[in-house]
Amino acid sequence: MSASPIIFCAIDTPHLTRAVELAKIVGPVTGGLKLGLEFFCTFGPQGVEKIREACPSADIFLDLKFHDIPNTVASVVRSVSESLAPAYLNVHASGSEDMMREAKKACAKPTKLLAVTILTSLDEGLLAIFDQKIDSFSIDEQVHFLAALADECNLDGIVCSGHELEILRRDTKFSKDFIFMVPGIRPVGADHNDQHRVMTPKQAMDAGATHLVIGRPITQAKDPAAAAQAILDTL
C-alpha cells in the first residue's frame, strides 16, 4: 500500500471503461479510490482488480457497508479482505457489537475495517420521518454512541459526516490512529446532490477528519485530475 492518502475519489459508475479511465487519471493525484455497491455488484472482484491494474499506486476503499447477522458479515469480510486486500473496508455500526467484533476478527491484514455511523444522506428530519431515531438522541449523540461502540470493538475507525467531528474530537478516548473517514464533501459552490450533511474539504480537515471521500465534484468535472488537485491545494 502507498502512504495513506487524504482523499478517496468515489468512482462509482456502471461503466467499467469510464471507471478505469478515472482511476488512471485521478488515482495518481488523490492516492485513494473508493468503489461502492453499484460498482461491486456490477463488476465484482474482477472489476476491483481492473481498477487496481489501472492505478497500482492508489489505495482502494471498498465501501460495501455490510450489515447482516455476525456470522454472515464475518464470512464476507474474511472473503473480501483475503482475496482483494483493500486498504479499507466497512460495515454498519448499527449491525451490533457482536457483528463488529466478529467482522474485525475475520478481517485479514493489512485491510483496515471501518464502521459506518449515520449516512450523510440523512438528517434529523429524515430520521424522524422513517422512525429511525434511537429514543430522543440527536444525530451527534447517535454518531458518538456508534463511534464509541466501534472503538470498543477494536475497529480501525468510522465513517461519519464532518458535522459530528467536533463532538467526536472532544472525546479523548479515541486514539491518535483512529480513522475518521468523511464523505459528503463538497467544495465551495458545488451542488449538494443527495447529500444533506455536507462540508467543504478544508472545513472537514480543520474539524478533525483524517480522510475525505469526494466523488462527483471530481468525476463530473471537465478535467477530473485538475479538479482533484485544486481540492488538495485548499488543504
pLDDT digit string (tens) for 120-171?
544 444 344 344 444 556 778 888 989 999 999 999 999 998 988 988 999 8
pLDDT given at position 126: 38
Ordered by start, the domain boundaries in the chain are 7-233
Q: At 65, phi and psi to the nearest 5? A: 50, 55
The model's pTM is 0.88
C-alpha cell at 55: 492505478
C-alpha cell at 97: 457489537
**pLDDT mean over 44-73:** 97
User: Active-site positions?
Assistant: 65
Q: Above pLDDT 70, what percent of the chain?
A: 86
pLDDT given at position 143: 86
Q: How many residues are present in the chain?
A: 235
pLDDT given at position 52: 97
Residue 59 backbone zone (phi > 0: left; psi -120 to 50: alpha; other: beta)? beta
Element (H, E) at 52: helix 37-54
Instruction: Report the mean per-residue pLDDT for the chain.
Output: 88
pLDDT given at position 14: 87
219, 93, 123, 9 alpha-carbon torsion, rounded to 10°: -10
Residue scoring higher pLDDT (161 or 62): 62
What are the beta bridge partners of residue 66? Answer: 91
C-alpha cell at 124: 434529523
What is the identity of the amino acid at 109? K
Question: What CATH number was assigned to the domain covering residues 7-233?
Answer: 3.20.20.70
Task: Give the C-alpha separation, 184 to 203, whole Å.
Answer: 12
pLDDT digit string (tens) for 75-86?
999 999 999 999
Query: Cβ distance 112 to 158 under 8 Å?
Result: no
pLDDT given at position 197: 60
Per-residue confidence band for 112, with pLDDT thresholds at 50, 70 and 90 = very high
pLDDT digit string (tens) for 193-231?
555 567 999 999 999 999 999 999 999 999 999 999 999
CB within 8 Å of 82: residues ≥ 6 apart: 108
Task: Give the C-alpha separation, 102 to 191, whole Å.
Answer: 39
pLDDT given at position 124: 46
Nearest to 180 by CA among 200, 156, 146, 206: 156
**pLDDT mean over 86-90:** 98
User: Terminus-to-terminus CA distance in the chain, angstroms?
Assistant: 23
pLDDT digit string (tens) for 34-43?
999 999 999 9
**pLDDT mean over 81-99:** 96
Task: Give the C-alpha separation, 186 to 135, whole Å.
Answer: 31
